[in-house]
Amino acid sequence: MRWVYIEDIVGHSGREVEVRGWIYNKRSSGKVRFLLVRDGTGLLQGTMYSTEKDAPLFLTFDALTQESSVIVRGKVREEKRAPGGYELEISDIEIVQIARDYPITPKEHSTPFLMDHRHLWLRSQKQHAVLRVRAEVVKAIRDFFDGRGFRLMDTPILTPSACEGTTTLFETEYFDQKAYLSQSGQLYNEATAMAFGKVYCFGPTFRAERSKTRKHLIEFWMVEPEVAFATLEDVTELGEDLVLSIIERVLGKRRAELETLERDPKPLERVQKPFPRLKYEEILPRLQEKGSTVKSGDDFGAPEEAILSELYDVPVCVSHFPAAIKAFYMQPAPGRPDLALGVDFIASEGYGEIIGGGQRIHDLALLEQRIQEHKLPREAYEWYLDLRKYGSVPHSGFGLGVERTVSWMCGIKHIRETIPFPRLLYRIYP
């Protein structure tokens, strides 16, 4: 008998098949027994009929518990009332293992309890849907860059220097030297961009964030394109296209998951190009009018992001921040050296900053000065300075956080559910 996955069952109507999975639920109704089996790709209803309550198949049914592993065999039948529109007329059940006292029952559980059982929680429908959306987002990102001729460059995770400020660095030993877990692949990508023109890296990044929020992970995944000769405006457009292509893919291929999550697709459907472009100095008074206590020169935080979501029902691009609050590598604005040519994309509906990036300093003397001002150890950046000595060109890029993007797509308020095993301030288990 042919082993099929539930998501492929459509093509097997009328055939005898085998499904391998786990018991999600069961119920009986008179002479019929219903099993809900999950196999990782979907849920399938199995039915058994008998006039005798101790028919062998019914006895096996009675022994089954939530999350017991089974191989069920039977004939596929179209059934409008069943989840997915098909059911299996079960003729045989092979028990692989009986699960005893599965801890996550259909009742409500507290978040700490679920987080302690994350390794099992992943099996429940909502978590399953979120992670399928995540996989689609990752695929959409790769297809987007590969389709535009960007080269994938895997930048190192163990690094000798900081990219995004020294306060969130994770330090580790590298034999007899100090090393840090990468906060961003950007600096290395500036080198690969000068070698390959347009590149992207895609990998895990680490920040020792001391604040406990719904939007911060300690370990998160970031995709970072970098383009030689590109300006702030060029990469802002690139970011818009990327965000649109992710939304299009999720709406096109993961509608069922969004439904499971009760995610209203309308806020995603209305996102169009161009996104509103706001300069820091222009938007500041509007934020203050709406009750923000942010002062000129301050960075935006969660309250400002929330107000921006009230003002706009689509993502916005905020640029021209005070240079003082931005990273050392940011190119100053022409005629306004106090402003940086950086851009942040703030997602709609309060999901916060999903993209941060901008134009990089390409002038050697200015970059040397910034490294000094930021008290960074010059020796660790010699190679980075070389890029400004040998064929330096204006160049730009950005980083998009995968988990924040998935939160937004799924309408999930807490980022911890968007990665299989979240690393949080007070949690490294499981």
| Structure tokens belonging to residue 186 | 């950007």
Among the candidate windows 19-27, 132-140, 367-375, 396-404, which touches ligand 4AD by CB under 6 A? 396-404
Of 332 and 356, CB closest to Mg ion = 356
| Structure tokens belonging to residue 68 | 């017991």
Q: Applying CB under 6 A, does 387 fall inside the site for ligand 4AD? A: no
The residue written with tokens 């990508």 in the block is 189
Contact 165, 326 (CB under 8 A): no
Among 296, 267, 268, 266, which residue's Cα sits nearest to residue 280?
296
| Binding partner selected for residue 267 from ligand 4AD, Mg ion, none, CB under the kind-specific 5 to 8 Å limit | none
d(CA 115, CA 292): 34
Q: Which residues contact 60 (CB under 8 A, 6 or more apart)?
A: 93, 95
3-state secondary structure of 165: coil
Contact with ligand 4AD (CB under 6 A): which of 74, 357, 394, 422?
357
d(CA 113, CA 314): 35
For the CB of residue 426, give the shortest distance to ligand 4AD in the complex, in Å: 15
Of 332 and 397, CB closest to ligand 4AD = 397
Of 66 and 184, CB closest to ligand 4AD = 184
| Binding partner selected for residue 398 from ligand 4AD, Mg ion, none, CB under the kind-specific 5 to 8 Å limit | ligand 4AD
Burial label for 288, CB within 10 Å (0-12, 13-18, 19+), is middle
The residue written with tokens 């994350």 in the block is 118
The residue written with tokens 């996104």 in the block is 275
Alpha-carbon radius of gyration of the chain: 26
Of 207 and 388, CB closest to ligand 4AD = 207
**Taking CB under 6 A as the rule, which mask of x and - marks residues 211-230 in contact with ligand 4AD?**
-----xx--x-x-x------
| Binding partner selected for residue 342 from Mg ion, ligand 4AD, none, CB under the kind-specific 5 to 8 Å limit | none
Contact with ligand 4AD (CB under 6 A): which of 180, 202, 398, 408?
398
| Binding partner selected for residue 184 from Mg ion, ligand 4AD, none, CB under the kind-specific 5 to 8 Å limit | ligand 4AD
Residues 116-175 interacting with ligand 4AD (rule: CB under 6 A): 163-164
Helices (H) and strands (E) counted in the chain, each on its own, are 13, 18
Of 46 and 357, CB closest to ligand 4AD = 357
Of 39 and 403, CB closest to ligand 4AD = 403
d(CA 163, CA 185): 8
Q: Applying CB under 5 A, does 356 fall inside the site for Mg ion? A: yes
For the CB of residue 349, give the shortest distance to Mg ion in the complex, in Å: 19
Contact 120, 104 (CB under 8 A): yes
Give me the residues that bind ligand 4AD (CB under 6 A), please. 163-164, 184, 186, 207, 209, 216-217, 220, 222, 224, 353-357, 397-399, 401, 403-404
